[in-house]
Amino acid sequence: MRYAIGTPMQNFLMEFDTIIQELGELGSKKDDEEYVTQLLASLPDEFDSHVRAIDILFTSSEENKKLITREYVKQKLLAEEKQINRKRDCNSESADPAAGSNVF
């Protein structure tokens, strides 16, 4: 399962959670570290900076690793999606010659 840019992150996370839950019911329980690792692996290049930052936290110390929960990562991804959408909207407005034009 891969996240596709343009898909609402909330929808993707709900679908991802459903799959993880179904795997758990079949006996394949995922702890937070496995969950986060698989979730991050499903993301496209646009999320590379977040993936690297979370990876650094994971590997830097046991104390930091405890901070990286499923909910923490979900919230960070939802925030990053907003940033990506803002940048995309800004870029599309600047590419539109009529946008922001004050010609009388």
- Per-residue pLDDT 10s for the chain (104 aa) are 899 988 999 999 999 999 999 988 888 877 888 999 999 999 999 889 888 998 888 888 888 888 889 999 999 999 988 988 888 888 877 765 555 555 44
pLDDT for the residue numbered 104: 41
pLDDT for the residue numbered 95: 64
pLDDT for the residue numbered 73: 93
Burial 34-54 (b: 16+ CB within 10 A, else e): ebbbebbeebeeebeebbeeb
Neighbours of 67 (CB within 10 A): 11
Please name the amino acid found at residue 34. E
pLDDT for the residue numbered 103: 47
- pTM of structure: 0.77
Q: At what angle do helices 70-95 and 9-25 cross, to 10 degrees?
A: 150
